[in-house]
Amino acid sequence: MKKFFFIILTTLLFITGCQAGGTPSDDTDTATVQDDGSVPDVLEGLTLNEYDGLEFTVNVLERKAILPGTPFVATVTIENKGDQTISYIQGSGSFTIPEAVFLYSGNLQTVIPQDHLGIATADFVTHDLKPGESLMFKLDAMAIEPHPDFRAYTFEMFDEQVYIADMDWTDLQGRFPELVPAQPGNYMLKAYFLYSIADENAQFAALTGPTGYAVAETVIGVS
């Protein structure tokens, strides 16, 4: 069972803010935001906001305009403001960003975290988030239309000691001409956090897989 959820979450990250359950800011015309409405398959059977003590947000604080083809960083924050402990899957102990946290978009290209590339330890790690504790992670995405081979390209470049999100668009398109830059406009970007509620009768609930999830969203403006 542990191996099953490890594989599912890792696969999702390969093919892949606002407050949890939130909406774009009031100054954004939601009619102009591109969102294909798709959701990750891994959410099947999980309960949205199973634990109401979480505050989950994702934000993109770029000082420069996000141009077609360029990378950007999304900052995800998780804070346990309730009175229960939750558990989540970290995955390999060598990971900095847990498998339980990931970005998702049907219109923009999300990027495998750099610490998930290369050699990883074979252990399987879960962590707890206790009341009053918080987490923050930075995840990469690019203003590129999603491409089915992007995962393979990411590993190919990493074998050459280059993280694909650090590449200049001209160099990246020269290497992989089939990649298409996102057109100027507003795009929905979502972040997800998968977890289970831990109590004295289920201290290792995360080992059997998550039971709930939180979602946060933000609008990315491509100039």
DSSP secondary structure letters along 8-69? HHHHHHHT---BTT----TTS-GGGEE------GGGTTPEETSSTTEEEEEE---SS-B-TT
Q: In the chain, how many domains are there? A: 1
**Closest by CA position to 120, among listed 1, 6, 2, 4:** 6
- pLDDT band at residue 206 using 50, 70 and 90 as cut-offs: low
The whole-angstrom separation of Cα 99 and Cα 126 is 10
Q: Is the pLDDT of residue 5 over 80?
A: no
Kindly report, residue by residue over 160-202, the tens digit of the pLDDT. Answer: 999 999 999 999 999 999 999 999 999 999 999 999 998 654 4
Find the domain containing 90 and state its range. Answer: 2-222
Q: Is the pLDDT of residue 13 over 50?
A: no
Q: What is the CATH number of the domain that holds 206?
A: 2.60.40.10
Kindly report, residue by residue over 42-57, the tens digit of the pLDDT. Answer: 999 999 999 999 999 9
Instruction: Report the pLDDT averaged over residues 84-104.
Output: 94
Rounded to whole angstroms, what are the CA distances from 21 to 11, 13, 38, 94, 100?
Answer: 24, 21, 15, 30, 17
- pLDDT at res. 147: 97
- pLDDT at res. 121: 86
CB 183, CB 102: distance < 8 Å:
no
Secondary structure (3-state) at 122: coil
Instruction: Report the pLDDT averaged over residues 82-105.
Output: 94
